[in-house]
């Protein structure tokens, strides 16, 4: 869950979720007599994370679960520690790439995996249930883990088999959770690192920096004549890249580079990569040319993860830079992604621009149409006919996607075409049909 901290994401809610998660996930069946279940709790550096951390730890401990508090760490580090410490569940307090006033609560199941729907529903239902509180020695204890970043850094080091010596990397930490471990991981791998936005105050996370604001990273790559730039978001589960010439290398291009690299060394299971329907058509055409299979899912990393598990795949991700390397992580890991991208450069001796040339992005135009009834997409005959005409016009040279937002009164119109002019013309035409036929007015 995610929202405005201290307005939607409150102390009371954090305590209640802590209690509910402890009751549902704190299963002591596998424990020895007298041994309590345990949970890991981490956060990003937002100011609100300080009181939310105290609240959720209090809720968990009050329900009889011991808490191992790890402080400020990336989301994938908390997922890793949940598995590495063999605890019953993990909690990450972060609103990821959202602005500083927001915060959120993400819960990992045992092993550091995302919760299946049924467990999420059980936790939600438990929030309002009456429960018997433990007393005396039955309450949980809270302790801080000493040097919590060390096991995660050791884990990242084991994921690489190539030194990054000779590479100069600009690392934009978004004044977020990777501000310490991000630069440390790249230096540990041998790279020369230029740190950018690595001084979190609790108030400056994602503030005109990181993966959602690449201007400073581009400028720093050019200024320092770096080989590449890597930009993370507030909780460091994303990574976007900048080549030495200052060009953006997005999640699709990163996935294309990694897919070919993994295929070449026999690490791309089923010769398949999993992406969402929002991936650029150029990515799919490039993978087809490389004899690599592409599986598409709905938008959202949880759907990518589900498809990866079902197909026993080792690589998946999103255009946003959320990349999942399942041989080493249970969720998207921006630092792990950056390390693997730089490793491909070091191993091949190629520049990032040369590697990213494996795919050619088609111009993509996205228009969000507000004030419409998103539930009518697929039911309006006029809209369906307009969509069919657009698809017929573009044929195999382009793509059209109409997607209702899952949370807002929006319909997203996305068009890819050989030229930006064509993409914009088709997108604006479809957007107008949406406005004219499923308006809420």
| Residue 192: strand, helix, or coil | strand
Assess whether 96 carries a catalytic annotation. yes
Q: Report the DSSP beta bridge partners of residue 365.
A: 415
- Which is it for the CA torsion 149, 206, 327, 256, positive or negative? negative
| Residue 160: strand, helix, or coil | coil
Axis crossing angle, helix 11-25 with helix 117-126, rounded to the nearest 10: 120
Backbone angles phi, psi at 119, to 5 degrees: -75, -40
392-401 contacts at long range (C-beta below 8 A, 24 or more positions apart): 393/426, 394/422, 394/426, 398/281, 398/362, 398/422, 398/423, 398/426, 399/281, 399/362, 400/426, 400/430, 401/277, 401/278
Cα distance between residue 90 and residue 39, in whole Å: 5
| Residue 14: strand, helix, or coil | helix
User: Contact 344/249 with Cβ under 8 angstroms?
Assistant: no
Q: Considering the candidates 94, 96, 179, 320, report the single residue annotated as catalytic.
A: 96
Q: According to the 3-state scheme, what is the secondary structure of 342-410?
A: HHHHHHHCCCHHHHHCCCCCCCEEEEEEECECHHHCCCCHHHHHHHHHHHHHHHHHCEEEEEECCCCCE
Cα distance between residue 109 and residue 103, in whole Å: 20
Q: Which two tokens stand for residue 216?
A: 């400073």
User: Contact 256/355 with Cβ under 8 angstroms?
Assistant: no
Cα distance between residue 85 and residue 122, in whole Å: 24
**Alpha carbon 384 to its chain's center:** 33
Cα distance between residue 25 and residue 132, in whole Å: 16
Q: Which helix (H) or strand (E) holds 313?
A: none
As annotated, the active-site residues are 96
């Amino acid at each position: 869950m995610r929202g405005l901290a201290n307005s939607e994401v409150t102390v009371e809610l954090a305590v209640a979720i802590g209690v509910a998660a402890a009751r549902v996930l704190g299963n002591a069946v596998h424990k020895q007599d007298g041994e309590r279940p345990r949970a890991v709790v981490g956060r990003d550096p937002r100011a609100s994370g300080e009181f939310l951390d105290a609240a959720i730890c209090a809720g968990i401990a009050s329900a009889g679960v011991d808490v191992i508090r790890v402080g400020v760490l990336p989301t994938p580090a908390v997922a890793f520690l949940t598995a590495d410490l063999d605890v019953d569940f993990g909690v990450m307090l972060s609103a990821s790439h959202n602005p500083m006033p927001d915060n959120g609560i993400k819960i990992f199941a045992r092993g550091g995996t995302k919760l299946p729907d049924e467990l999420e529903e059980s936790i939600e239902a438990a929030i309002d249930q009456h429960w018997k509180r433990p007393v005396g020695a039955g309450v949980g204890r809270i302790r801080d883990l000493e040097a919590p970043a060390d096991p995660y850094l050791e884990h990242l080091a084991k994921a690489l088999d190539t030194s990054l010596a000779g590479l100069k990397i600009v690392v934009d930490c978004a004044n977020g959770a990777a501000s310490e471990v991000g630069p440390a991981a790249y230096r540990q791998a041998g790279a020369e690192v230029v740190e950018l936005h690595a001084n979190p105050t609790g108030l400056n996370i994602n503030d005109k920096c990181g993966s959602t604001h690449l201007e400073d990273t581009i400028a720093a790559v050019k200024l320092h004549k770096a080989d590449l730039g890597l930009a993370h978001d507030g909780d460091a589960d994303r990574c976007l890249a900048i080549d030495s010439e200052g060009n953006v290398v997005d999640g699709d291009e990163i996935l294309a580079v990694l897919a070919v690299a993994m295929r070449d060394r026999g690490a791309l299971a089923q010769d398949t990569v999993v992406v969402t329907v929002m991936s650029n058509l150029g990515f799919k055409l490039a993978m087809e040319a490389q004899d690599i299979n592409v599986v598409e899912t709905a938008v959202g990393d949880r759907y990518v993860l589900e498809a990866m598990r079902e197909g026993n795949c080792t690589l998946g991700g999103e255009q946003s830079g959320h990349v999942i390397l399942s041989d080493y992580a249970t969720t998207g890991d921006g630092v792990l992604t950056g390390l693997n991208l730089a490793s491909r450069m070091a191993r091949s001796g190629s520049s990032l621009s040369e590697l990213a040339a494996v795919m050619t992005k088609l111009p993509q135009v996205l228009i969000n149409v507000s004030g419409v009834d998103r539930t009518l997409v697929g039911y309006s005959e006029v809209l369906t006919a307009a969509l069919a005409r657009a698809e017929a016009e573009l044929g195999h040279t382009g793509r059209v996607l109409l997607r209702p937002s899952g949370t807002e009164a929006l319909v997203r119109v996305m068009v890819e075409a050989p030229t930006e002019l064509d993409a914009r013309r088709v997108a604006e035409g479809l957007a107008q049909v949406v406005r004219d036929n499923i308006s809420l007015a």
